[in-house]
Each structure stands twice: as structure tokens, then as C-alpha cells.
Structure 1
Amino acid sequence: MTEYISIGKVLPDFDPDRLAYDEARQLLAACQRHPAFEVVELRRLGDDQETDQSPKIVDGIVVECCDGTVPSRNSVGIKNRERLLLLHGPGLITLHEVRALRVGFPPTLHQNHVLRGEPASLCLYFEPWSAVERTWTPAKHLQRILWWLRETALGTLHRSDQPLERLYFVPPYQIVLPADFNERVANPSEVLRLASASSRANGTVLRGILEPKNTAKADAHDPRLDVLVIQVPPAVSAGIERYPATLGQLHDQLATRGSEFSTNLIETVKQKVPSEGLSIRNPHVQHILLLLQITIVRTEGVAPERTDVTGFIVHDTNIASLGIACSAAFDGTNGKAYANNLSLIGATGTTSSASDTWRNLTVEPVDVRVAFTPKDARKASGIPDEGADFRGVLAGVGALGGCMADLWCRVGWGNWTLIDDDILHAHNLVRHIAKDLHIGWAKVDVVAHMAGLTWPTAPKPTAISAKVTDFGNDEVKAAISGATLLVDATTTLEVPRDLSDSNDSPRMVSSFFTPSGRDSVLMLEDATRKVRLSSMEAQYYRAILNSDWGASHLNGHHGSYWVGGGCRDLSGVLSQEVVQLHASTLARQIRLLSAMPEAQIRVWLMDDKTGALAGKIVPVEESQVASLGAWRVAWDEGLTKKLKSIRTESLPNETGGVILGYADQKRKVIHIVDVLPAPTDSLASRAGFTRGATGVRETIERAAALTANIVGYLGEWHSHPRHSSAVPSAVDAELLAYLAETLAMDGVPGLMIIVGETDISISLGEGSAA
């Protein structure tokens, strides 16, 4: 005969008015209409003397649930006819709770924790009730019950790719242990201290903190608990267990899994009792927090898959009293307990044979969580481990760099060295991840400190307070040479130019947002560094000059304000909203694109009215460099293609135009950005070409305006006729001399490009003033 657990008072009939709540009456009507549910009786939980409107009353509907889709002989132990108690009222686990009344209803996944002896509580909804109630109806509730029984019986409620089940259900109380708890807890020089993790007095979360034994001190707000950590032999995974009510039941459950508890308990308690004894009556300790390290194996004799940490509160005892209860210690009759070692037998005090008193000590479950690691963060963020554990350098940890560093830290991507020589000023708090306490800190120390707060057990980023271009700094050189990726977030011209010239630099990426804060830019070298940032900068400027989005891309900032009295104490107006918007986009794209071998130039344009962010892909061309005297001239294949195309379109006549670009005086490099076609008033024939002037000044001024005054006039180019090479003629030499003298007034050499039938020549001339 099937036995059922009885709770509450049975009501005399099925009259809906005997139920206290309208929701329960609606549920009763739904049960009476549904063919799979047969109402057995109505129950009431609560004080009989209370009125129907008492907030402590709970309505209960006992039903026989018969579902033909549940296999009659399933391995889980769910029957195709189960007696259930449908509850509704305050104080329940959920507003509509379902209890399985059959004695022996199997412990399965997706059950709520209940006290021992109470009916099993089915966990029907994965979402919080505040979300479920928006679409909840009595009919849907009944269908959900049938779904839970069917899927649980078939073994499909728990996904097959999930890890091995924990030994126990998840209880209502929680302790969070350090991420490296299992590795460090055996260290005899450290002890585990408990601290309240709540900002309110009624918090139920504790933090476990491993501290050096000689410096650990209890805090006045710490819970009044002794801590006992016991490692037990491997347990075979065999599904979920209900929580034990006593230490004895805990021992028996572990024994059925091939593990053991009592021996390890006795030995661990002995080690916790010092030679000078332990006070039996400790007013500062009320209970014991018992933490079990349980190695889980799939079958006996195979390698363990993981180590679970399960927690219990052992009520109304301390380590000294527990030691006496399990004969690990004896009462010294002086108010102290002493370890019950053979060497102490016969000493003054009371000893006894092995005692089973410990088996009756009451235990209450604690949900033990282990803090996340960067590896856990990657899994939670959908980021594969492959390629994520690399050494990188982040140059510049201001508003943009600091935000990207924080994002990468939180998703566990990369092991970073931070390089920046700046310190944090008061006004930086507007756009930096720093807090007020960090004012005056080196920015690299701020970002490293914030990373340490996120993952305290993981290695912090290395912080170097220096310029990344300080090639005389051994720390900087070692960081760069040991990295596989260098991210430039300095928002300077010199860093990407200087570092990209070095063959010792790793693959580099430069990222920044424009002065207005509306747009952001990413430039990434290819994996073999054939195309470097210095070349990509020029190609980026050409895209600005020739794209519809370039007209306002580098427009000025929204204003400025003084943060001090000095002439350099001027800061721009920019919202942190914009910083985080672009930082998140750039951080994600750098992570994704750096996994690919190709060079990339990406631009994101923000529409402030709609909030839309439009991405633009700029084609990257292979770079070319020619050494001409003390100078190097740099261009790319895209420019070569453009020159040849204009020449071909103009044949049989010669053609030409203006060269745009910029000269880096420190590096002695001339970067060719673009070439212009012939003005409309030019004179062109098969034998010669004379460039006109219409629109030239305006075009040059426009180029300067669109590129923040970086791109300007470099010289002239022209083509030679069919079947002619690009070797300069005597007339060309005169032109070059003129260009050299003209540009010498600006301190730069003159540049001339000739496009022939199959070749291109580049000539450089320096005037007397250059």
C-alpha cells in the first residue's frame, strides 16, 4: 500500500468557498476540468483559529496526477500516477508550490530544499515568480506540472551536457569561498576566516577568507562560527541526495557512495585542538561551519572529475565539544578539551571509548559557492579558452584604455602589462574607472588595483609607470619583447608610429575615439606585420578624404574647461557614456579581430539622435617603402593602383596632379596619403603636361581640415606617355628642383612621382633651406 505524507488540516468537502484565496479557487476549477488531475481533498495549512483572510493561511489542493506519457518503469522512480499537493498562499517557496506526497518520492534534480521528513517540493519554474506571473494561468500551471514529471522521468529535464550532479540540493544559505580554496586550504600556515558579505544586517551570505595564521584576526561583525574543513575519500556520482538532518546521517550517505566521514572527522578535529587545549565553553562561538571537500568520480576506480565543497552548520556546538562527542578530544576538567592522542591517555581528565554522541548533532545545509576565476569568466562570457591566455601590453590606461582593461579583465581575456606614465587627477574621475580614493595614484596602479578587486586570487596585471616609447627602460623593453599583442590606447601620434617601426614590437593595434567623441577607430596590423600601423595611418587618412563619412569624422571637440591655473591645465568636454560605448565596441572588436591574421581598419560612426552605431570597413593595402637619402618614403599598393588608373584613363595624353601626405621629421619618413587628378584648367598632350590651379588650394585646405591639419601638400606627380618609362627627364629634374626650393621654406623636401608604362619612380629633392 502506498504511503503518503500528511500535512495541514483536511477540509470537509470540495466547496471552493472553503479556500481562502480566489487564485486557489481558480486552480481548483482548473483541476476539476483537466482529465489528468483528480481532486482528492482540500487542505488548509495554518492556525485553525485564524480567519480566512489571515496572511498565514495557505490553501492546499490534493490531487492524483495521472499522466500517460510518463514511462511506467522509468529508472528515476517517478510513477505515472502521483499524489501531489498544490499549495497557494504566503510564506511558500513560490506563490504556487507543488509538493509530492508519496513517501519515497525520489530525490531528483530541480527540487527545492525542504526540511527532512517534509514532502518533496518540485522546482517547476527556472525564472523568478515576478517574471512567471506575467503569463501564469491555472491551466498553464497544470501543464507545467505534467511537463516536470514527464521530463524528470525520462531524464531529459537535466541537459546531458551539464556536469556531474552535485551531491546535494542547493540550500537557502550561502558562503562564498576563494577561487583557489581547494588548492590553499591544506596549507598549514593559513586559516579560513568567515566574514559577513552583506551591506545590510539581515544578510545570509558569508565570505570565506584565507589569511596567514599568525596575522588572522576575528572581526566584531564576523559570524560566531568555528570552521572545520574535512577532506573525505572520493564519492561515486549517483544523483542528488536529500540533505541529512544529523552528522550521523551525513556519514551514512557518504558511506553508501563509497566514501567515509567519521575517521576523517576525528583526525581533523584532533589537528584543530592545540597542545594547550581548547576552551569547551566559548561565548564567541555558537555553531560550527563544516566544509566537506568531496571528490566526485563517475564510477569507482576512475579519475575524479572535480572536487565539490559542501557546507553544513553543526548547531549548538564548537570544535572542543564536537571533539569530545566523537572521542577526538577529552574533557580536561579544567574547562578545556585536549586532543585524545595515545600520548595523552592517562593524563588528568576524563577519557572514554569511541563515542557516537556526534551522530546526533543537528546539521543545516549551507550553499557553498566558489568565487569565479578568469577561466570561469570566459565561460560565462562565451569566450573560448583557446587564444585567451596570452601576454599583452596595453599602452595608455586613461579613459579609453582603463575601460578596455576593465572589460578584458572581467571576461578573462589576456594577461596584461599596463604601461602609462600619467597619474590620476581629480577631474579624471569623470571618465576613468578610478574612484576618489585613487586620486594621485599612477593610472597603471589604479587599473591593476581594480583588476585585483575583480579577481583577487588571479595574478594582477603588471603595472609599469613609464612611457611605452621609453626604449631605455628595461621593464618596458622586456614587456614589449615578451608580448604577442600590443594595444595602443594612448591616443597619440608618436606611439603607434615609433613602435610600429621597431622589428622587436609584437603585433600592434591602435584604438581611439575622435575629438568629438562621436566616432571611434581601430587599426590592427596583420599577424606577420607586413602592414604596420604607420602605413595604416596614412590609409586611414585617405579613407577620410574619399568617404562620405569623412567630412565630419574628425570635427573638433565639444568644448573645453580649465582644471587648473597652468597653460596646460585644459581638458575636453566628453561624457563617460560615450567613453563606455566606444570602449566596449573597441574592446570586443580587438578581441575578435586579433584572432584573425589579416590587417584591419575599422571605423564606427555614432548617430547621436538615434543611438545607432554604423561600422565602416576600410580596405587595407600592402605597404611600400623607398629609402631616398636621409629620408624614407612610404606608400601603399592602393596608391599605386590609383596612379596607374588615372594614367590609363588619360591616355594618350599625359596627366598629373598634387601629392598629399605628411612628413614625420623625427622618424624622417614621408607618408604619401593620396594623389589628386588633374585640375580642370590643366594643359595635357601626348608630349607634356602642365597642371592647372583650379580648386587646388581648396582641395589642399580641405584635406588639412578633415585630418586635423596632418595631411598637406607634398609635391607633384605626372605620367609619361605610352611605351615610356618613369625615368625623370631633364624637364622633370627642373620641376623637382623647383619643388625642393619651394618646400624648403617649410623645412621639408619636395616630392615628385612619375608613372610610366610599367614602372613608377619617386624622387626627392631638398632645397637649400630644407
Structure 2
Amino acid sequence: MTAEAAALTSKLAQSVVAYLTTSADLPFAELTGIAVRESADLLHIRLEPELPQHRKVPILNHEPVTVLFDKSDEEPPRVFSARGDFPVDLDLVHTNRDMEADGVALCLWEEPWENLSRILTGQSFVERMRDWFSRTARGDVHPADQGLEPLLPGTSNTLIMPAGLPAGPWHVVRSAEVDKRYTLLLDAAAPSIPPPLSFALFSMQLDPVVHGALKSRPYDFGALAALIAEFGVDLWETLRPWLLAPPQIEGAQKFRALLLIVIPLKRSADDAPESYQIWAYSSLGTLAELGEHLGITITAETGGQMQTAAALGGQPADLSQLLLMPWRVVQQLDRSLAREYSANQGSTDATLVAIGAGAIGSNLVVNSMKAGVGSWTIIDDDLVLPHNIVRQTQTAQAVGVPKALALAHDASLLIAEAGGASSIIANILKPGEHADAIETAFTDADFVIDLSASPAVVGYIADHSAVRRAASFFFNPDGSDLVVLAEDADRKLQIDEIEAQYFLASGADPFLARHFASARVDRLRYANACQDLTRPLPPWQVQTLSGIATGRLLAILGDKAASARVWRMDPATALVVPVDLPLSPTKRVEHEAMRVSISNNVVHAMQALREERSPNETGGILVGTFDLRRNILHVVAALPAPPDSRQSPTYFIRGAHNLRPIMDALTQDSAGQLQYVGEWHSHPDGAAARPSTDDEGVFSHLAAQIEPTGSPFAMMICGAEDSWIRVGWAGRGRIEGVIVYGDDE
């Protein structure tokens, strides 16, 4: 390794250098220079793209680029053409003119960097650059069904104007600032002023009574007073000091009285009250008219104004002539009543954290609050924009407001009980000053639920020690499938391990065929920035599946087992078919630099194939998914030996017939998540499941072939009593472990 390479800080830059300088395969690229700056690591690379004979854009056989890497890899690398005659006059799409660097910047991705960085190895990064030049030469770098590119890049501040023709005048009716990003909402109408109160409230509580026969409803003050006298209370005497109090005297000409009489009810004389009855009556006239009829106050003109004061020796008029208006009283929802009305069988509150307040997040939170599940803390740093209204619960009044704040506000209004919902306006992956608040929310929560459809977020909550239990709810790309993954109550099977087994099912289970087929349906551009893309989702489809998601949440809250379930909807018929995905316990091997999880079904598959082919040795390839940011490898499948393999009692040589199509299909059907991660083979009875000299040679070959690419590589040996595993990973060293049979817990 050169001194320049050793000085690189970016792990992605290191991976690219390792791939270009040590790969056993031809990388079709050449490293031509390294530079280390205070702000970034630089690599100069000459690419050799695959080019058509007739090129729509004059891309050369060798294209020089300069790549600027963020030293912490927190931001995506920037790629610039180093050609002085690069055809900028063609106004190529997926490029931009960067004033801070010398050259034309190439737009290589639209995916969020938090997710892409998890799986972007040095090899895949180089191949992505080569592919960009190849597609540009062919003229298909920008698909015909994708929205037009913007003429100018977007900015971080937002001004939201009324729809239709831009004809003023306008008023700023709302503003928001999140992480120094400002949003102003304009409207043609000025903000409205809340109307003044029109009632003055009087309330009193009687002594508890045993419930009994219905009484006749009174409709005048005399009848009401007579009924209350049966409970030993003089309504006139009780009302007198209230009417003479300053607030009522001062508002006597403006307000009407609203009388609330509360009666605790109990089942028998010795029981405690079980419920409360509330009688409500309002006066037809003002407080001044009520007080004068009762002989408590008098109103007269003084100095040209009407003044109300206490009556001296006044006598009430005929109280039966003082009509009152009765009100039907319906109690506001608390969580207990909400559970009753919604047929929620749960009996206790739950404290929940929602990460994401988008399509499924907003509907799930609102629906669950209506079902009385408990309280939510909602974490999201995005703002409500006009296109969100199609599939979220917010209305146009929330446009320009942080999604978390708007959802918490709306959810809290559903239940008349404190602690309904609160918000943390933050990016969960970059919490900054909100880290302590998020830590507290996780610590207090019974369940932390990912609603972001982001594998990076799943990894974050899987690793967080404060999380008691985690789940993930999301739609597939075209919104026709609902996926719900949930940990067990003891977190023996963590959410990222469940996710890895879900990826295996998406690639191998016929029921999930084409589950990820529309992984690039986000072609609809809602604004004028490169990543301002959204996925068109029918609101009725979102609401249907979100309703199912809420029902599943209620079930999970009462079930301690881990689970993975997918509901597939036929949009044409609205038929929804559910399927439970089988989950396997995992074994973990880890040290400070990496963690490896191996599903038990991998071990069981190897055992079954070993038994089937005995006394011959057998083997195959290992399939898994990995996270470069978290240094985690999940091994989820062991495939059988291809038919051209050589098997005998003393050796095994794996063949390759039809293996590449099988692996390519798994990768494609899982949206790129499933990868080849190594080899496995069996040892016969009497031979320990430990590497022989030949096995060490195979592992060295794996290291030579795979380590330069930046991907992890594994070898497993299946024996009679246990299985052995070794994993290597560039920059992370080696790790070994043993899995003893019969220990499935």
C-alpha cells in the first residue's frame, strides 16, 4: 500500500483503491492518482465503459474522472469528468455544473445516501460510474417514463404559494424552520380570528346516588330546581354567588348560562361510584335576564350604558316560566372508551414511537389512536408538501408544517386525554441536538416502530440498546403489498435479522413473485430538484392496507412472538391475500469489528443435504445480505450443489451449472439485497467440522477474489455434530464461530 493510499480517511475511497489495485478480476478501470486534502479524499480514475458501436453521446473508450470522498462517508462522493472536452454543450441530463470543483459533476444516484451507503462497495461504485457512461452513450441514462430534469438545482428553503394563477395579494399564514431550513406558506386570505366565547359555565356535583328508575326531564328552572331539591340541594342558593361573581357581572349582557349538574352513580349504597351522569341546561336569554328573573341581579342604564348589579331584596318570578334548553351530553373519547367503541380487545395503554410520518405512518398513527392504543412519539424531519395530501391524513391546512408536528397535533385531537401524541422534528439517522430526546423516547417506549421504509432505519433501531422491542411496517414500491415485521418481546430475533429473512422470502417464495418488480416506480417529480421524486400511490389502496396494518399492530401488542407477514392486494379486484413468512432463530458470531448472524434454516439445510448425499461430501453457496455501515452480515440461505459438482467421500468440488441465473434472480427479486456471500461444504462422519489444508486454500481463494471488492466472504463447514464458520471482510479482519446442533434457542 502506498503512503497516499494509507493516508485516505474515507472507507469507501479505501475500498475503491483496494478493488482497483488488488482485484483478481479485470476491473475495467485504472487508478491514476490519489490526493488527500483537508476537506476530502480525492481519487483520479480512468474508466473503460462498455460502449455501443453507434453512440448517441460522444463518450470515449477511456473516460477520466475525479472523485471527491467525504472523509467520514456521511455525505455521498462527488464525481466529476476530468475531460477538458467533455460534451457539456449537449446539456446532458444527470449532470450539473459545480462551481466548487473543476469539471462537470455526474449525477450517479437518486437513492438516499443513508440507504445506498450500506451496500455500496468499491466494486459496485466503480461499476456504477462505468454504467453511467455506458447508458449516456446509448442515450438511455434518463428513461422515457421519468419526469423531466430541472433546469436549476433546488434550494433548501421553501415558499409555498396558493394553487392556480399567481394573482395576489397574499398573506403569510404559516412559517416553519427546521434545521435552518425555512418554509413560508402564502394564502390570499388573512388568518382568521377565533370567535369569542358565548357561554358562561356553571357546574356543580351532587352526592353519589344509587342508580334507579328514569325521572321526567325538566324543561324549566322550577322543575329542574325541584328535581335537584330531591338530592338535598337548593339550586337557587347555589347559583346566586356564581351569578354575582365579577366575571358573570361583567359579561352579563354578552353571555348565556350553561349549567352542568354532575351526579355520581353507584350500583348499591355500599359501592363506590362507577360512572357519572351529567345534566346540561342553558338559559334562553343572557346572564342579565336570567339573574333578573331569579331576583338575584338587576340591570339598569347608568351613564348611558347598561349595568348589571346585585338586586337588593329581589324576589324570583314564577320559575316555571323560566325556560331552559336541555343538551344531550356525549362524553368525549378517552383511550378506554376508544378501545370499547373500536372493538379493541386490549385493556391497557401502550407507549409507542413512530419513525416516519408519511403515507403508512400517518394513517397507522391516526387509526391506532382512534382504537385507543396509547400514546405516540413521532419522529420525522420532513415537511408536509402538497403532493403528500393524496395519501396522508393531513389536509391542505398542514402544508408547510413539519410532518411530525402536524401528525402529533392531529392525533392528539382525536382523543380527549393528555399524552396522546408528541413530536420530535429530527432525522433519526442524524439526530444532532435531538439525540437525548430520542434516547428518552426509546427508553420509555414499549414498542419502537419503523414506518420509514428505510433499511438504514431498521439497522439503527436494531442496534439501539434502549429499544425494548421493534417492528417495521412498510409498503412495497408500488403500494400493492403491506409488510409487517416484528421482534419477539425478548428481542431474541432482532428486526434486522427478520428483515434479512424477509429479503430471502422476497427472492425465493413464489407467493412474493414480483414483490419488488416496481422498485423504480418513483418517476413522478413533485418539485425541481434532482431527488424530488415520489411514488404515485392510490389513496384507497394506502388506506386499505393501512387499516390492515393497524389491526396487525393491535395483534402484535398482545403477542410476544416474532412475526413476519405480507398482505398482497390485487388493485383490480381489491382482493387481499395474507401470508405468514417462516422465521428462523439465528446464531450470532461477533467481535468489535463485525457481527455475523446465521439463520438456523441455513444450518438445517446443510444438515439435510449432508445426510442426503452421505457418504459423499457435498456443498454449495451461501446467500445473505450485509450492511457496510454497520459491519453486519446476515447469512440466510445455503443452496445445494449444482448438478456438475464433483462429490466423493473424501472431497467436494462445487460446480457452476445454472448457478449464476439462480443467484441473479435472487438478487433481482430482492431489489439487490440478496448477494452471494461465500461457500459451504460438508465433512463426513468422523471428520471434525474444521478446515483442512485444502479448505484453507479455498478460503484464501475467496479472500483473493472477494476481499478487494469490499464485500464480506464466508466459509461454512457442516459436520456430524456442529458447523463451523469463518468470515473475512476488508478492513474488519476475520471472525470464526461454531454452531452446535440441537441448540435452536
Output the TM-score relative to the length of structure 2: 0.67
Aligned partner (choices 497, 512, 516) of residue 550 of structure 1: 512
1:181-330 aligned at under 5 Å gives the runs: 219=195, 228-257=202-231, 259-271=233-245, 282=253, 288-298=257-267, 303-315=272-284, 317-329=285-297
Contact 2:283 2:290 in 1 (8 A): no
Q: CA–CA distance in 2 between the matches of 1:765 and 1:332?
A: 95
2:602 corresponds, among 639, 644, 651, to 639
Which one of the candidate residues 363, 375, 386 is aligned to 1:403?
363
2:523 corresponds to: 560
For 2:310, the equivalent position in structure 1 comes to 339
Unaligned runs of 5+ in 2: 1-192, 734-745
Q: Identify the match of residue 655 of structure 2 among 682, 692, 701.
A: 692
Shift of the 496–749 alpha-carbon distance from structure 1 to 2, 3 Å rule, reads closer
Post-superposition shift, 1:424?
Answer: 2.0
- The 10-residue stretch of structure 1 (697-706 or 246-255) with the greater mean CA deviation from structure 2: 246-255
Sort the Cα spacing of 1:268 and 1:646 in 2 relative to 1 into closer, same or farther, 3 A: same
Aligned 8 A contact 1:235 1:259 in 2: no
Pair 1:429 & 2:403 matched = no
Q: Are the aligned partners of 2:601 and 2:637 in contact in 1 as well (CA < 8 Å)? A: no
In the alignment, is the contact (CA less than 8 A) between 2:354 and 2:361 conserved in 1? Answer: yes
SS in structure 1 of the partner of residue 604 of structure 2: helix
Contact 1:233 1:260 in 2 (8 A): no
When residues 593 and 452 of structure 1 are mapped into structure 2, their CA distance, relative to the original with a 3 A threshold, is closer
Structure 1 counterpart of 2:671:
708
- 5 Å-filtered alignment, 1:586-597, equals 586-597=549-560
Say yes or no: does 1:574 pair with 2:537.
yes
Task: Please say if residues 633 and 712 of structure 2, whose CA atoms lie closer than 8 Å, have aligned partners that are also in contact.
Answer: no
Q: Which moved more, 1:586-595 or 1:693-702?
A: 586-595
Find the aligned partners of 2:209 and 2:632 in 1 and give their Cα distance.
69
Q: Cα RMSD between the aligned structures? A: 2.8
Q: For residues 759 and 431 of structure 1, do their structure 2 counterparts lie closer, same or farther at Cα, with a shift above 3 Å needed?
A: same
Kindly indicate whether residue 491 of structure 2 is the aligned counterpart of residue 523 of structure 1. Answer: no
- Structure 1 window deviating more from structure 2 (710-719 vs 740-749): it is 740-749
Give the drift of 1:681: 0.9
Q: 1:247 to 1:297 in 2, by over 3 A?
A: farther
Structure 1 residue 330 displacement after superposition = 5.2
- Indicate conservation of the 8 Å contact 1:625/1:632, yes or no: yes
Q: Is the 8 A contact 1:736 1:764 kept in 2?
A: no
Q: 1:514 is matched with which residue?
A: 476
Compared CA separation, residues 764 and 436, structure 1 to 2 (3 A) = same
**Contact (CA 8 Å) 2:205, 2:262: kept in 1 or not?**
yes
CA deviation vs aligned residue, 1:293-349 (integer Å, no higher than 9, x gap):
33334455754333322123444x433343344343356785544335xxxxxxxxx
1:358 Cα deviation (Å)? 3.0
CA contact (8 A) 2:263 2:276 kept: yes
**CA distance in structure 1 between the partners assigned to 2:241 and 2:729 by the alignment:** 88
Does the CA contact (< 8 Å) of 1:232 and 1:260 recur in 2? Answer: no
1:357 aligns with 318
Following superposition, the deviation at residue 554 of structure 1 comes to 1.6
Deviation readout 1:591-633 (Å, 9 max, x if unpaired): 2123111111111111233321111112222111113683322
Q: CA deviation at 1:277?
A: 7.0
Deviation (angstroms), 1:531: 0.6
Query: Structure 1 residues 449 and 618 mapped into 2: Cα distance closer, same or farther (>3 Å)?
Result: same
Inter-CA distance 727–236: structure 2 relative to 1 (3 Å threshold): closer
Q: CA deviation at 1:637?
A: 1.4
- Contact 1:234–1:259 at 8 Å: present in 2 too? no
Question: What amino acid is the match of 1:483?
Answer: A
Q: Secondary structure of 2:470's partner?
A: strand
Q: 1:713 & 1:241 partners in 2: Cα distance?
A: 79
TM-score, length-scaled by structure 1: 0.65
The separation in 1 between residues aligned to 2:491 and 2:645, in whole angstroms, is: 41
Q: What residue in structure 2 maps to residue 367 of structure 1?
A: 328
Determine whether 1:722 maps to 2:682. Answer: no
* 2:699 aligned partner: 736
State the distance in 2 between where 1:617 and 1:304 align.
Answer: 46
Distance 1:254 1:696 in 2: 87
Q: 2:507 touches 2:667 (CA, 8 Å); kept in 1?
A: no
Q: Secondary structure at the match of 2:330?
A: strand
CA distance in 2, matches of 1:524, 1:503: 17
The answer for the alignment partner of 2:341 in structure 1 is 380
Count of residues in Structure 1 that have an aligned counterpart in Structure 2:
535
- SS where residue 322 of structure 1 aligns? helix
- In the aligned structure 1, how far is the partner of 2:419 from the partner of 2:369? 11
Q: Which residue of 1 aligns with 2:448?
A: 486
Q: For 1:662-706, what per-residue CA distance to the aligned partner results, in whole angstroms no more than 9, with x for missing partners? A: 221111111112111011111111111111111111011011011
**How far is 1:766 from its partner?**
5.3
Q: Indicate the structure (1 or 2) with the bigger Cα radius of gyration.
A: 1
CA contact (8 A) 1:273 1:320 kept: no
How much does 1:571 deviate? 1.8
Alpha-carbon distance in structure 2 between the residues aligned to 1:446 and 1:634: 39
Supply the AA of the counterpart residue of 1:291.
L
1:741-760 matches, within 5 Å, as 741-760=704-723
Relative distance call for 1:434 and 1:565 in structure 2 (3 A) is same
Q: For 1:634-671, what per-residue CA distance to the aligned partner results, in whole angstroms no more than 9, with x for missing partners? A: 11212111111111111011100111112211111111
DSSP 3-state at the match of 1:369: coil
Secondary structure of 2:559's match? coil
CA distance in 2, matches of 1:599, 1:234: 48
> Does the 8 A contact of 1:383 with 1:411 survive in 2?
yes
Say whether the 8 Å CA contact 1:226–1:318 is kept in structure 2: no
Name structure 1 gaps, 5 residues minimum.
1-216, 341-349
Local SS of the residue matching 2:616: coil
Deviation at 1:425, TM superposition (A): 2.2
| Partners of 1:520 and 1:605 within 8 A in 2 | yes
Return the offset for 1:245. 4.1
SS of the residue 1:754 aligns to:
strand
8 Å Cα contact 1:232-1:264 kept in structure 2 = no
What is the aligned partner in structure 2 of residue 89 from structure 1? none
Residue 442 of structure 1: how far off its partner (Å) = 1.0
Counterpart of 1:651 in structure 2 is 614
CA contact (8 A) 1:418 1:463 kept: yes
Name the counterpart of 1:540.
502
8 Å CA contact 2:507–2:668 kept in 1: the answer is no
CA spacing shift, 1:218–1:410, aligned 2, 3 Å: closer
